[in-house]
Structure 1
């Protein structure tokens, strides 16, 4: 698991990243790095519903399975859910000051390598 830990530590070290959580398809936390006050278990518990909804939209639009989901909330900040494998996803919480563009590009570019870690 040290490879996962290294990934999470690197992500959490980026400016504006409040949490990096690897979550199982069952909604349980596999591993995480998060700032104090982030309710990682509660957040992770919602991942299965998000994944299912994303897959359903993709099927209805004839676009295939969900790969990445970006959520923006009224008090600012983004949540990025990136599917790594059939059994695990990466959930990254960004504060409003974070630049999500480079992170999204990196997640897309490194998807296969990240998937090999879980």
Structure 2
């Protein structure tokens, strides 16, 4: 069986990644890991679901299809939101855009493993 903490810890092994959070579409945190982060993982996860819902509505309105991923860039870092099927999403907080490719690659590589652990494959 897949250990979600072990899977999420791979994200924290990427330099600059501060948090990796698995959240249900209802906003409830399923699992999360942080590296010295001050941000409240449960609050980040809950708020992020609203942002994803807004992005999904925009995609429908402008006829661009479903959201594959969402990246929000702030003055002091980035937040990546990746839908994992209809029931969960992965939220990753990191310091700068230089590691965006590594984070996106790891999301794709870990997707089936996470879904299997959630028993929604």
Normalized against structure 1, the TM-score is what? 0.85
Which residue does the alignment assign to 1:111?
A: 111
Q: 1:59 to 1:17 in 2, by over 3 A?
A: same
Which residue does the alignment assign to 1:78?
A: 78
Distance of 1:62 and 1:116 partners within structure 2: 31
How many equivalent pairs are there?
117
CA contact (8 A) 2:7 2:110 kept: no
Shift of 1:60: 1.4
Which residue does the alignment assign to 2:7?
A: 7
> Could you list the per-position Cα deviations for residues 42-101 of structure 1 after superposition, in whole angstroms to 9, with x for gaps in the alignment?
111112211211111110121222120000002x21100000121110000001375212
Which residue does the alignment assign to 2:33?
A: 33
Q: 1:57 to 1:29 in 2, by over 3 A?
A: same
Distance of 1:110 and 1:9 partners within structure 2: 11
Distance of 2:23 and 2:65 partners within structure 1: 21
Query: Where do 5+ consecutive residues of structure 1 fail to align?
Result: none
Distance of 1:33 and 1:98 partners within structure 2: 21
Which residue does the alignment assign to 1:46?
A: 47
Indicate the SS of the match to 2:86: coil
RMSD of the alignment, in Å? 2.0
